[in-house]
């Protein structure tokens, strides 16, 4: 990935940081985008000089995505891979919940990936680049309280497959990883009695993502790849 420009949405979160740091270690030029205003302390220092950290980015709007990608293009001159990590989760039953939760999670999980992908496409077509989305193993069979989240992630799966078909003869690959539970501080706090050793480590998931974002994976497109650790 040496010299490639990699855009990571949701780049200030636990998985986003792991992907950005691993890409930087591999010699990539990294742009990390996030809705949060500021990156976490120490994050910039763990990236190679010249990384672009853009906070306050609302990728749930097409205009927000377009402006963010334009900033990346202005700084680096090209875009080789888009990693769509921006997203969110909320546990809520259908019976006791609210329809607004579905709108909220579809905006976080689907529209961010859709808008970022559409904004980045001209640059990715020019570079024969790659898109990697974050789906979810739980979207294959939704548990109670997971309806809105699973539906949004299932939509990401279908976005991945459909866009891969659109682009498969135009040099751009589109794939998704389907993690189980990622070992993040937030997940540990939410499930303190779980066996964390069974969960997927962010660094391990980042390695799969960066393979799909590399030219080594140019023959892979439209794939939904489970990354489930010991779950």
- pLDDT, tens digit, 9 for 90 and up, residues 134-169: 999 999 999 999 999 999 999 999 999 999 999 999
User: Mean pLDDT over residues 22-48, rounded?
Assistant: 97
pLDDT confidence bin for 131, thresholds 50/70/90: very high
- For the cut 90, the answer to whether the pLDDT of residue 192 exceeds it is yes
Q: Is 218 helix (H, G, I), strand (E, B) or coil?
A: coil
Contacts of 65 (CB under 8 A, 6+ apart): 59, 112, 115, 116, 118, 119
How many Å apart are CA 20 and CA 210, to the nearest integer? 10
- What is the domain range of residue 178? 5-227
User: Mean pLDDT over residues 2-25, rounded?
Assistant: 97
pLDDT at 230: 83
In DSSP terms, 82 is beta-bridged to 7, 131
- For the cut 90, the answer to whether the pLDDT of residue 120 exceeds it is yes
What's the structural domain count of the chain?
Answer: 1
pLDDT at 165: 98
Residue 83 near residue 129, CB atoms below 8 Å: no
Element at 33 (helix H, strand E) = strand 29-33
Per the structure block, which two tokens stand in for 38? 């500021």
Share of the chain above pLDDT 70, in %: 100
- For the cut 90, the answer to whether the pLDDT of residue 79 exceeds it is yes
pLDDT at 231: 84
Q: Among residues 118, 113, 105, which one has the least CA distance to residue 148?
A: 105
How many Å apart are CA 54 and CA 31, to the nearest integer? 7
Residue 123 near residue 129, CB atoms below 8 Å: yes
pLDDT at 18: 98
pLDDT at 176: 98
CB atoms closer than 10 angstroms to residue 151: 16
CATH number, domain of 32, equals 3.40.50.720
């Amino acid at each position: 990935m040496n010299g490639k420009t990699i855009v990571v949405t949701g780049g200030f979160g636990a998985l986003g940081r792991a992907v950005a740091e691993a890409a930087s270690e591999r010699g990539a030029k990294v742009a990390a985008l996030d809705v949060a205003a500021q990156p976490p302390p120490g994050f910039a220092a763990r990236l190679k000089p010249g990384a672009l950290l853009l906070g306050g980015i609302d990728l749930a709007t097409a205009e927000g995505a377009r402006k963010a990608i334009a900033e990346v293009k202005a700084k680096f001159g090209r875009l080789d891979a888009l990693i769509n990590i921006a997203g969110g989760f909320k546990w809520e039953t259908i019976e006791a919940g609210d329809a607004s939760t579905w709108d909220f999670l579809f905006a976080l999980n689907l529209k961010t990936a859709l808008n970022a992908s559409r904004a980045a496409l001209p640059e990715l077509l020019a570079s024969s680049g790659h898109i990697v989305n974050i789906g979810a193993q739980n979207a294959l069979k939704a548990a109670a309280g997971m309806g809105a989240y699973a539906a949004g992630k299932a939509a990401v799966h279908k976005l991945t497959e459909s866009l891969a078909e659109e682009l498969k003869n135009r040099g751009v690959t589109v794939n998704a990883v389907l993690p189980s539970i990622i070992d993040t501080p937030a997940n540990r706090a939410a499930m303190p009695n779980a066996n964390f050793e069974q969960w997927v480590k962010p660094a391990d998931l980042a390695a799969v993502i960066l393979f799909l974002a590399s030219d080594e994976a140019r023959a892979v497109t439209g794939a939904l790849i489970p990354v489930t650790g010991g779950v």
